[in-house]
């Protein structure tokens, strides 16, 4: 009887906490819906990059959007749970630090500044 009990217990799949959490984190809002909400905040904007990420405990779509005639990018975070805009932040635009399409400006802006001459 003990042998059967042990086999039954061993056959139950065990997930690590990180795996269990990852299975529960699934966006409820489509990327297209989130993009529409982000573009509504930047009139005539063009999406340069998109990323799905958990920030401060909230799953968000992060859109880097360039505005015509503007410098830098607007980073718009949209909740992947309910589709509301969580934050809008202007990034870049400093001389010598032009935004590169597909590269998150936040990654470049947070790096050390080049030495002054």
Tell whether 98 is covered by a domain.
yes
Tell whether 18 is covered by a domain.
no
Give the pLDDT confidence score for residue 112 in this predicted structure: 47
Tell whether 6 is covered by a domain.
no
Cite the DSSP H helix spans in 1-117.
2-10, 17-24, 31-41, 105-109
Q: Which structural domain, as residue segments, surrounds residue 99?
A: 27-106
* Domain CATH for 44: 3.10.450.40
For 91-102, the pLDDT digits (tens) are 986 543 444 544
Tell whether 14 is covered by a domain.
no
Q: Is residue 81 pLDDT above 70, yes or no? A: yes
For 27-55, the pLDDT digits (tens) are 999 999 999 999 999 989 999 999 999 99
Q: Is residue 88 pLDDT above 90, yes or no? A: yes
Residues 6+ apart with CB under 8 A from 35: 47, 50, 61, 63, 78
The three-state secondary structure class of 109 is: helix
Tell whether 116 is covered by a domain.
no
Task: Provide the 10 A C-beta neighbour count for residue 73.
Answer: 28
Tell whether 50 is covered by a domain.
yes
Tell whether 92 is covered by a domain.
yes
Domain total of the chain: 1
């Amino acid at each position: 009887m003990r042998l059967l009990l042990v086999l039954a217990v061993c056959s139950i799949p065990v997930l690590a906490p990180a795996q269990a959490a990852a299975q529960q984190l699934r966006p409820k809002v489509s990327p297209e819906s989130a993009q529409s909400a982000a573009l509504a905040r930047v009139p005539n904007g063009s999406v340069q990059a998109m990323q799905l990420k958990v920030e401060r405990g909230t799953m968000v779509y992060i859109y880097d959007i360039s505005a015509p005639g503007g410098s830098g990018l607007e980073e718009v975070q949209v909740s992947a749970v309910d589709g509301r805009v969580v934050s809008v932040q202007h990034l870049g635009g400093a001389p010598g630090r032009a935004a590169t399409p597909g590269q998150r400006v936040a990654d470049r802006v947070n790096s050390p500044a080049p030495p002054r001459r």
